[in-house]
A and B are shown apart, each in its own frame.
Chain A
Amino acid sequence: DGGITQSPKYLFRKEGQNVTLSCEQNLNHDAMYWYRQDPGQGLRLIYYSQIVNDFQKGDIAEGYSVSREKKESFPLTVTSAQKNPTAFYLCASSIKVGAGITDTQYFGPGTRLTVL
């Protein structure tokens, strides 16, 4: 079965700690994305990557970091610099970016991060 997996589903962290959210896809997609979702809000783009070893900041990148060492994986680290990290985090992928219908995004099941 092809798809996008995110782990863990629920994550708790203490203030001042960094935490890494996992996102893996076996769809052979070049592009991957991280979004943050807060109640009543739309999706806000954190980072995206069009190809291995390359990524760009989205609208709310401050306090987050990413890496793209493998095509299948795009982990997101929420650092202690992120002032309000409690949210639902969604990972997505698409075949490409900027190439028509291949931009269509497919989403993982999400990770709910709670800072205690």
Chain B
Amino acid sequence: GEDVEQSLFLSVREGDSSVINCTYTDSSSTYLYWYKQEPGAGLQLLTYIFSNMDMKQDQRLTVLLNKKDKHLSLRIADTQTGDSAIYFCAERTPGGSYIPTFGRGTSLIVHP
């Protein structure tokens, strides 16, 4: 079955790195996504990684994928107050409806 787990909260100091973790259960996942949701807004696609990759970097964002442990992480370097938001991990599997399954989201709080 499909299940995506995330911790609910993360608090970091401005300028530090943030690491948001996600675990998933379906080993046949093909794409894994990270979305950002600011208060009262929709979800914004940050990045995605294909399952045959281990790492993807995009400016301050680094995505690491450990397929053996079914673990995905999003690292934000030099975290700013504008990074405060809810971050959702999602996986897409080739079986069933192909529609991504979302985690509950991690609230990132950045304090001065």
Contact = CB atoms under 8 A, between A and B. Distances in A.
Contacts of B30: 100
The prevalent SS among residues of A at the interface is mixed
A107 B100 contact: no
A33 B105 CA distance: 19
Contacts, number: 58
Contacts of B102: 42-43
A55 interface: no
A114 B74 CA distance: 34
B53 to A, nearest CB: 12
Interface in A24-50: 33, 40-43, 45, 48
Interface residues of B, number: 24
Interface string B34-46: 0100001111110
Interface stretch (B13-21, B55-63, B91-99): B91-99
B87 to A, nearest CB: 12
Interface in A90-116: 90, 92, 97-101, 103-110, 112
A92 B100 CA distance: 12
Contacts of B104: 40-42
Interface residues of A, number: 27
B24 interface: no
Contacts of B48: 101, 104
Given A43-B102, A58-B99, A104-B33, 4 more contacts: A45-B99, A48-B97, A103-B98, A104-B48
- Name the 7 nearest CB pairs between A and B, nearest first: A107-B42, A98-B98, A107-B43, A42-B104, A43-B102, A42-B102, A109-B42
Interface of B: 4, 8, 30-31, 33, 35, 40-45, 48, 50, 88, 92, 97-100, 102-105
